[in-house]
Structures are given as structure tokens and as C-alpha cells.
Amino acid sequence: MRRPIIAGNWKMNKTLSQSVDFIKEIKHLGDNTDVEVVVCVPFISLDRVKKELEGTNVKLGSQNIHWEESGAYTGEVSPLMLKEIGIDYAIIGHSERRQYFNETDETVNKKVKTSLNHGINPIICVGETLEEREENKAQDKVKTQVIKALKGVEENQMKDIVLAYEPIWAIGTGKTASSEDANEMISFIRNIIEDIYNEEISEEIRIQYGGSVKPANVTEIMNQPDIDGALVGGASLKKDDFTDLVRF
Ligand SMILES: O=C[C@H](O)COP(=O)(O)O
């Protein structure tokens, strides 16, 4: 039985004081539920938010991570820095990182391996563009991303990984993949994992859907057999919406 995981990706939203105020309002959301609740907040808010979350059941994540422990990488944040704060998760390979910051399948793979080596659980994002979907290339694209992201990852590390299928055309657009289409792709991803590893790992790995998940569609999405959770942008920024999402 896979534990559902709802993760809020705040993206570049909320200042430090806004982050602290907001977390005070939602930090009880992990209580009395089987759902694992995660907030992925801006780097500069991680430390303060971590302190606010102490003693709660809400987990903390970053939105990126560098693959080196230290060095001349101006503007980057290393796994050692994040580990010291005590984060649980790092989003890796979000399509916005791939699109605007030249993240490649190779850097995604390096980040995945470094996260695992530092005890930070990767949430690895994959997904196709609208053009790729229309040209029937969506599965090929996602397959390549999954295989390359996991290159060199050992079987015993797979339990620490979460995958997130986010069709790029559904992010922040109000368009969602139909829950059946999302489930079909996520089932396809599970088959890829079985090919690379084995059936047990493919049955155990948690795979989220992301892209305009809202209170109005979350139940339908979460009722799909292969979908284990949601990676949520816009709707994770509002208390009432995020509350409804984690109580889908
Ligand atoms: O990481 C979250 C996804 O990019 C989805 O964002 P969204 O819920 O605003 O569409």
C-alpha cells in the first residue's frame, strides 16, 4: 500500500515573513491523516519554516539542489547546506528549471544521486510539452527522462524516490490532463521502473501527478489506481485550497 503524498511547491512566492505566517496556518495539516504533507518553500525560508514545523507532521522540501557539496557555483545551494537545515525532500528537474535554467537530464541525474547520498529524498519531475503530446511523442519523452534521471541509482535507493509526472502544458494553465490520461502515463512510468528494476519496486514507488491540481479535481485524480499524490503549485499557496487538497 503506497502512502499518498501531497506536496506544495510554492515556487518563487512568499517572502520570509509571509512564509512563516502561512506555515503557522497550515502546520497542523499532517495530523490525523494518512497523507504525507510536504511543503517545498523558497531557499531563504527553509530554515525558519523548519523551526516552525518542529514537532509537526508536515515535511519540508527545497525546490532545487546542487550536485556538489561546495565550490565555485555562484548562487547555488549545496546538499550539505540543505542537510544541515534538515529538509526531507528536494524537487529535482522541475520543468521550469529545465526550461529557464538549462537543467538537463544529466544534471537532474547528478542531483538525484547527490540527494540520495545525503539522505534527502528526491521528487523527480518529468513531463512532455504540448507539442510532444500532439506529435505522439509524450511517452518517448517521459521514458527518456525517467531512464536518464535514474541512471546509476541502486535498487535499494529507489524507496527514497518520488516521481512526479507533470505535463508541461497543464502547469499553471488551468488545463489538467484528464485523470485517465494522467493515470495512463503514470502506469506507463511504473512499467519503465519495472523494466529497469523489478515489479516490487515498480509497485512500491510513489508517483505524483502535477498540473493545475485544485480542490475541484483532486479527488478524481487521487482515485486513479496508479496516482499516489499531487505536486501542487498555485493551489498550495492558499490555506483553504491546500487544506482541501490534503483532505481530498
Ligand atoms: O510543481 C507544481 C507544478 O508545476 C504544478 O503547478 P500548478 O499547480 O500551479 O499548475
Residue 94 is a catalytic residue: yes
Assess whether pLDDT exceeds 90 at residue 51.
yes
- Ligand 1 centroid to Cα of residue 199, in Å, is 29
- Ligand 1 centroid to Cα of residue 10, in Å, is 9
Per-residue pLDDT of 113-127, as tens digits, reads 999 999 999 999 999
Please compute the mean of the pLDDT values over residues 219-240 and round it to a whole number.
98
Per-residue pLDDT of 84-112, as tens digits, reads 999 999 999 999 999 999 999 999 999 99
C-alpha–C-alpha distance, residues 6 and 36, integer Å: 6
Q: Which of 94, 96, 103, 132 is catalytic?
A: 94
User: What φ, ψ does residue 62 adopt, rounded to 5°?
Assistant: -95, 170
Assess whether pLDDT exceeds 90 at residue 142.
yes
Residue 166 is a catalytic residue: yes
The share of the chain scoring above pLDDT 90, in percent, equals 96
Q: Residue 244: in which H helix or E strand, if any?
A: helix 239-246
Q: What residues form DSSP beta bridges with 8? A: 39, 232
Homologous superfamily assigned to 5-246? Aldolase class I (3.20.20.70)
Q: Quick one: CA dihedral 20, 26, 31, 35, positive or negative?
A: negative
Assess whether pLDDT exceeds 80 at residue 23.
yes
179 is in an annotated binding site: no
Q: Is the CB of 39 under 6 A from ligand 1?
A: no
Q: Provide DSSP, 166-198.
A: --GGGTTSS----HHHHHHHHHHHHHHHHHHS-
Give the mutation target among 11, 64, 97 for probing the ligand 1 site: most ligand atoms within 8 A of CB: 11
Give pTM, 2 decimals.
0.97
Assess whether pLDDT exceeds 90 at residue 198.
yes
Q: Which three cell numbers stand for residue 148?
A: 536518464
Q: Is the CB of 166 under 6 A from ligand 1?
A: yes
Per-residue pLDDT band for 173 (boundaries 50, 70, 90) equals confident
- In contact, 61 and 89? CB cutoff 8 Å: yes
Give whole-number Cα distances, 56 to 49, 156, 216, in Å. 11, 28, 27
Per-residue pLDDT band for 176 (boundaries 50, 70, 90) equals confident
30 is in an annotated binding site: no
Q: Which three cell numbers stand for residue 248?
A: 481530498
Q: Is the CB of 64 under 6 A from ligand 1?
A: no
**Count of all residues that appear for the chain in the document:** 248
10 is in an annotated binding site: yes
Domain residue spans of the chain: 5-246
- Residue 177 has what pLDDT? 82
Per-residue pLDDT band for 240 (boundaries 50, 70, 90) equals very high
Nearest alpha-carbon partner for 84 in 131, 43, 127, 143? 43
60, HSE (Cβ side, Cα atoms, 13 Å): 25
Q: Is 54 exposed, middle or buried (0-12, 13-18, 19+ CB in 10 A)?
A: exposed
Per-residue pLDDT band for 172 (boundaries 50, 70, 90) equals confident
User: What φ, ψ does residue 140 adopt, rounded to 5°?
Assistant: -60, -45
